[in-house]
């Protein structure tokens, strides 16, 4: 038995330092009045390029990603590398979209994506659907961050239950007090640690294993029965559609929007679209830790029933390869890596509840201070819920739910992303499309089994085309699978367009759009201009969001 | 003083540059480009090094578009 004491001491020390920072963050860039959702929930909408880079990077590349992506390569080979094209294409894809979202939110004071939907479509029903979709998709994501921490605790042989409760109680307390400033400040430490650990890992571990070719040779041997370490005809379409669909979905998640709206100006966002791919490089290298674990013959921890927990593969690899003290640093990096996104996600979900459910349906005349208080309490409830789900149900439950999360958040694409370009889609078309996308998405997910957990349904998001037609008839491999979310959002858009055409033909009343074309190009410092004498350039950009 | 909005023409020209962004969206999804092992580079099969190289393509394109569409107001 190895002694894990050094690891535990180093990791706990770093954790304590970070917790103190979280509480002190309330004083950082201190506002005149914290009792406002712009301050607690969006850090004063004032973050410049550097803070935004750390915040959004810390938000999107979560601890669970760092644990699960290498686990995927470890277990199934090349298919797991989809995370790289996914996070490469996402920034050029959302470049213009996020600028428009930032501008219109800046001009109108929107805090959540559902705020925008309410104003643009004039439909409180659609706004409520977007808010609920956002909350439901985010909740399991928060719970998954706990899975990331848990994998580290297991490798240090610490009782996960109490450690998890303590970690999340501290997280909940400083998020309550400091709001978005806490994760923004902690993100600096988190990312510095993660970069350090990964750079050391990708130099040191392959060196110890005898070079990168040894790493890839070991993986080739393990996956010799499929296509080795590249794709085959059965999974190449899945690879492309998962990467594309996940990229479409990423910035529909409420926590991604929170990070973007907290930035100061359009140029801040543009600079970040160029700088954030640095994290994609990091993620690509992290993914390859999965192959290193194969070459190092690392064994995942098995539970009492003898079932291997692949999520422990990265911590186990660190434990095996690094000296104790540096393994402690690495474990702290993963654990803190869970806290940043968990805090931002809880804030985003709380803001959705406050703005689009509480203020819309419970207290229409809630003051700014009341909104901030409701959000703070809601963020506590969200975190307690996440801990209970992990401890009382099972981690696998939230992993399955999170796969569904990507599919369902994608169904807000027409109401949020498409609507940033055009208000042509009728509000009833949007609602009908959402119902159709949600229905087909869940129907497809029902047919996805999971071989590893022996669940017959909801076992993943890769839908076999053979359920619909014979793929060989159009020249594809008969086992071809595609991303369910991708097909569902196509169904969503088709139904939205058809119902819109029907509504227009029947002269159904349009929703009232309170935004104006020049709202979508407004920048920091722009005063609200007088009524424009001509159409501004806002609508001339054609649709860059490809749909099929 | 902030200039009133008098630039519909320049904005539409800068808008056209956004089409450059299509390149780093489409290229990383063309499986036939990278789905092979040869040639190797620093021990990495093509599947891995080329997809990591696409990150540079994305960074370069977004940087070019940023410089061409910068608002030109006081920075920071």
pLDDT tens across A360-392, in order?
Answer: 888 888 888 888 889 989 998 888 888 887 787
Q: Is B61 in Cβ contact with A228 (below 8 Å)?
A: no
Element (H, E) at A327: helix A324-353
Residue B1 lies inside a defined structural domain of this protein: no
Chosen for mutation from B1, B3, B4, B5 (greatest number of chain A CBs closer than 10 Å) is: B5
pLDDT band at A498 (very low <50, low <70, confident <90, very high): very high
Residue-level pLDDT at A291: 92
What are the CA-CA distances from residue A249 to residues A87, A99, A172, A225, A442 (Å)? 11, 17, 27, 33, 16
Q: Which residues of B touch A93 (CB under 8 A)?
A: 21, 25
In the A/B pair of chains, how many CB contacts fall below 8 A? 136
Residue B4 lies inside a defined structural domain of this protein: no
pLDDT band at A527 (very low <50, low <70, confident <90, very high): low
Residue-level pLDDT at A95: 86
Closest CA to A465 of A447, A453, A450, A452: A447
How many domains does the structure of chain B reveal? 1
Q: Which residues of A touch B28 (CB under 8 A)?
A: 85, 88-89, 243
Q: How many residues does chain A have?
A: 548
Distance in Å, alpha carbon of B14 to nearest chain A alpha carbon = 10
Query: For residues A227 and A156, what is the distance between their CA atoms, to the nearest angstrom?
Result: 35
Q: Is A525 in Cβ contact with B73 (below 8 Å)?
A: yes
Q: Is B44 in Cβ contact with A216 (below 8 Å)?
A: yes
Does residue A510 contact residue A122 with C-beta atoms inside 8 Å? yes
- Ranges of H-type helices in B1-76: 8-17, 22-26, 31-34, 46-69
Query: For residues A368 and A37, what is the distance between their CA atoms, to the nearest angstrom?
Result: 7
Please compute, for residue A428, the number of CA atoms within 13 A of its CA located in the half-sphere on the CB side: 12
Overall average pLDDT of the A151-172 stretch: 83
* Cα A245-A247-A249 angle, rounded to 5 deg: 70
Residue-level pLDDT at A542: 41
Chosen for mutation from B6, B28, B67 (greatest number of chain A CBs closer than 10 Å) is: B28
Closest CA to A326 of A215, A204, A210: A204
Residue-level pLDDT at B72: 56
pLDDT band at A540 (very low <50, low <70, confident <90, very high): very low
Residue-level pLDDT at A3: 66
Phi then psi for residue A308, to 5 deg, are -75, 135
Query: For residues A105 and A103, what is the distance between their CA atoms, to the nearest angstrom?
Result: 5
Q: Which residues of A touch B19 (CB under 8 A)?
A: 544
Residue-level pLDDT at A458: 75
Most confident of A160-174, A280-294, A465-479: A280-294
Of all residues in chain A, the one with the smallest CA distance to B20 is A92
Res. A174: pLDDT tops 80: yes
Distance in Å, alpha carbon of B63 to nearest chain A alpha carbon = 6
Residue-level pLDDT at A204: 92
Residue-level pLDDT at A529: 52
Query: What is the domain range of residue B29?
Result: 9-69
Residue B47 lies inside a defined structural domain of this protein: yes
Residue-level pLDDT at A289: 92
Q: Is B52 in Cβ contact with A92 (below 8 Å)?
A: no
pLDDT in tens, B5-43: 444 434 445 578 888 889 999 999 998 898 888 888 888
From A13-22, A75-84, A235-244, A298-307, the region with the lowest mean pLDDT = A298-307
Res. A19: pLDDT tops 90: no
Nearest to A95 among B5, B21, B73 (CB): B21
Of all residues in chain A, the one with the smallest CA distance to B11 is A537
Q: Where are the domains of chain A?
A: 5-402
Residue B50 lies inside a defined structural domain of this protein: yes
pLDDT band at B51 (very low <50, low <70, confident <90, very high): very high
pLDDT band at A288 (very low <50, low <70, confident <90, very high): very high
Closest CA to A155 of A9, A13, A311: A311
Nearest to B29 among A243, A274, A523 (CB): A243
Q: Is A236 in Cβ contact with B24 (below 8 Å)?
A: no
Residue B61 lies inside a defined structural domain of this protein: yes
Res. A430: pLDDT tops 90: yes
Residue position matching structure tokens 């209970």 = A388
Residue B76 lies inside a defined structural domain of this protein: no
Q: Is A523 in Cβ contact with B62 (below 8 Å)?
A: no
pLDDT in tens, A51-66: 888 888 888 888 878 8
Q: Is A527 in Cβ contact with B58 (below 8 Å)?
A: no
Tell me which of 1.25.40.10, 1.20.1730.10, 3.30.420.40, 3.20.20.210 is the CATH number of domain A5-402.
1.20.1730.10
Q: Which residues of B touch A226 (CB under 8 A)?
A: none
Cβ atoms within 10 A of the Cβ of A37, count?
26
Residue-level pLDDT at B11: 47
Query: For residues A118 and A108, what is the distance between their CA atoms, to the nearest angstrom?
Result: 12
Of all residues in chain A, the one with the smallest CA distance to B53 is A281
DSSP 8-state secondary structure symbol assigned to residue A61: S
ipTM for the whole complex: 0.82
Overall average pLDDT of the A125-148 stretch: 89
Nearest to A230 among B5, B25, B36 (CB): B36
Residue-level pLDDT at B74: 38
pLDDT in tens, A310-359: 888 888 899 889 988 888 888 888 888 888 899 999 999 999 999 999 98
Residue-level pLDDT at A88: 92
């Amino acid at each position: 038995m190895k002694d894990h004491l050094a690891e535990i001491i180093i990791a706990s020390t770093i954790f304590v330092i970070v917790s103190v920072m979280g509480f002190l963050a309330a004083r950082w860039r201190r506002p005149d009045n914290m009792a406002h959702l712009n301050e607690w929930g969006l850090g004063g909408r004032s973050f410049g390029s550097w803070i935004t880079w750390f915040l959004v990077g810390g938000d999107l590349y979560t601890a669970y990603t760092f644990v699960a992506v290498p686990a995927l390569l470890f277990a199934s080979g090349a298919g797991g590398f989809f995370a790289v094209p996914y996070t490469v294409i996402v920034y050029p894809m959302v470049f213009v979209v996020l600028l428009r979202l930032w501008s219109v939110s800046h001009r109108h004071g929107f805090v959540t994506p559902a705020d925008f939907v309410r104003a643009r479509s004039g439909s409180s029903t659609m706004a409520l659907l977007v808010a609920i979709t956002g909350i439901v998709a985010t909740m399991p994501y928060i719970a998954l961050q706990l899975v990331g921490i848990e994998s580290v605790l297991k490798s240090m042989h610490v009782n996960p239950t109490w450690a998890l409760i303590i970690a999340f109680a501290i997280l909940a307390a400083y998020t309550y007090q400091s709001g978005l400033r806490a994760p923004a400040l902690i993100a600096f430490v988190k990312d510095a640690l993660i970069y350090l650990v990964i750079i050391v890992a990708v130099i040191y571990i392959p060196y110890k294993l005898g070079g990168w070719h040894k790493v890839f040779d070991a993986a080739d041997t393990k996956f010799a029965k499929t296509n080795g370490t590249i794709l085959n005809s059965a999974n190449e379409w899945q690879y492309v559609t998962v990467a594309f669909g996940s990229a479409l979905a990423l910035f529909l998640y409420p926590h991604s929007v929170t990070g973007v709206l907290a930035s100061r100006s359009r140029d801040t966002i543009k600079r970040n679209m160029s700088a954030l791919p640095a994290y994609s490089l990091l993620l690509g290298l992290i993914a390859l830790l999965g192959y290193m674990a194969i070459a190092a013959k690392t064994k995942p921890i098995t539970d009492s029933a003898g079932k291997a927990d692949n999520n422990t593969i990265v911590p186990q690899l660190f434990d095996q390869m690094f000296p104790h003290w540096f393994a402690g640093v690495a474990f702290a990096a993963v654990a803190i890596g869970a806290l940043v996104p968990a805090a931002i996600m809880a804030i985003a979900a709380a803001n959705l509840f406050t703005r689009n459910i509480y203020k819309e349906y419970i207290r229409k005349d809630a003051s700014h201070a009341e909104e901030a208080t409701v959000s703070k309490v809601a963020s506590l409830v969200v975190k307690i819920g996440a801990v209970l789900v992990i401890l009382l149900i099972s981690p696998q439950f939230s992993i399955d739910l999170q796969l569904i999360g990507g599919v369902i958040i994608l169904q807000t694409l027409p109401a949020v992303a498409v609507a940033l370009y055009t208000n042509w889609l009728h509000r009833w078309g949007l609602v009908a499309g959402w119902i159709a996308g949600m229905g087909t998405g869940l129907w497809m997910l029902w047919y996805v089994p999971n071989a590893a957990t022996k669940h017959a349904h909801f076992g993943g998001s890769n839908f076999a085309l053979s359920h619909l037609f014979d793929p060989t008839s159009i020249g594809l491999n008969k086992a071809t699978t595609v991303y369910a979310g991708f097909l569902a959002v196509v169904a969503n858009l088709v139904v939205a367009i058809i119902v819109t055409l029907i509504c227009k033909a029947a002269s159904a009343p349009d929703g009232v759009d309170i935004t104006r074309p020049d709202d979508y190009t407004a920048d920091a410092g722009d005063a609200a201009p007088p009524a424009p004498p001509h159409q501004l350039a806002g609508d001339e950009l054609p649709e860059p969001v490809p749909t099929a | 003083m902030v200039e009133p909005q008098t630039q519909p023409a320049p904005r539409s020209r800068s808008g056209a540059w956004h089409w450059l962004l299509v390149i780093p969206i489409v290229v990383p999804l063309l499986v036939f480009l990278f789905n092979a092992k040869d040639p190797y580079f620093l021990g990495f099969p093509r599947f891995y090094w080329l997809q990591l190289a696409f990150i540079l393509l994305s960074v370069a394109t977004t940087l070019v578009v940023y410089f061409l569409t910068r608002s030109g107001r006081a920075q920071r």
